[in-house]
Structure 1
């Protein structure tokens, strides 16, 4: 178990997103991953993640740094639960309305650590 490996996987998630690399982004997920967007769309599998993000990456949406470090909890030696915060900008302008809390499950696979699930929730006042 290594939190450092999870931190590298999270860094790759941001790098591939900000590069607009839909194939690289989707490659960070398991073949059968469950991916739920902030508006509730459920994508099933790496191919659906890649296809959906290809269109999304045509816009100039970039991920920013969170003020808080991600929480990483190993459920087993091969499974980690991650809760992370995130911000983003559109066309270079920070958008506070896009602040999110993201919950992910990382799984150690023969390919290395990959995300098996992703849930993005917008932060909003009740």
Structure 2
């Protein structure tokens, strides 16, 4: 489902999320779009994007609230745009059923203009880790680090 203006894309994504509709999220993207989630899982077409979001929105994200913050649009010519959106996610369920703490993310979308509007061709989701500037790999996984101190 294309949007008429790139600045509308993050709100359309949020609305589909809040409706718990993976197919509606998928419909925001081109058939051969790419979506990389916060842990680097890479979905490489519309059906995979829809299926992955549908699963998550019916399970561990079933009671989440996605709040849209700042949106920045950069036109990349007449037919392409880069959109960054800050979002806050609350209500995620942990594997034991408890409610996780809220977290913030930046979603980056590359959009392409079609005859009927704008669709996503790529998305990258990046968690915001307060007080960190990078991650360091160790034997127990990734640890946020700040070398500026």
Query: 2:104, 2:127 within 8 Å by CA — same for their partners in 1?
Result: yes
List runs of 5+ in structure 1 lacking aligned partners. none
Q: What is residue 147 of structure 2 aligned with on the other side?
A: none
Query: 2:5, 2:117 within 8 Å by CA — same for their partners in 1?
Result: no
Q: Deviations over 1:61-106 (max 9, x none)?
A: 221132xx21111011010011111101116x7833x211111101
1-structure distance, mates of 2:30, 2:86: 22
Q: How many residues align?
A: 120
Q: What is residue 64 of structure 1 aligned with on the other side?
A: 67
Normalised TM-score (structure 1): 0.86
The 3-state SS of whatever aligns with 2:81 is strand
- Structure possessing the higher relative contact order (Cα contacts under 8 Å, 6 or more residues apart): 1
Bigger proportion of residues as helix: 1
List runs of 5+ in structure 2 lacking aligned partners. 93-98, 134-149
Normalised TM-score (structure 2): 0.74
Q: How does 1:54-93 map to 2 (within 5 A)?
A: 54-58=54-58, 59-66=62-69, 69-90=70-91
Q: Does 1:102 align with 2:103?
A: no
Query: 2:10, 2:85 within 8 Å by CA — same for their partners in 1?
Result: no
Distance of aligned partners of 1:34 and 1:47 in 2 relative to their CA distance in 1, 3 Å threshold? same
The 3-state SS of whatever aligns with 1:76 is coil
2-structure distance, mates of 1:62, 1:111: 29
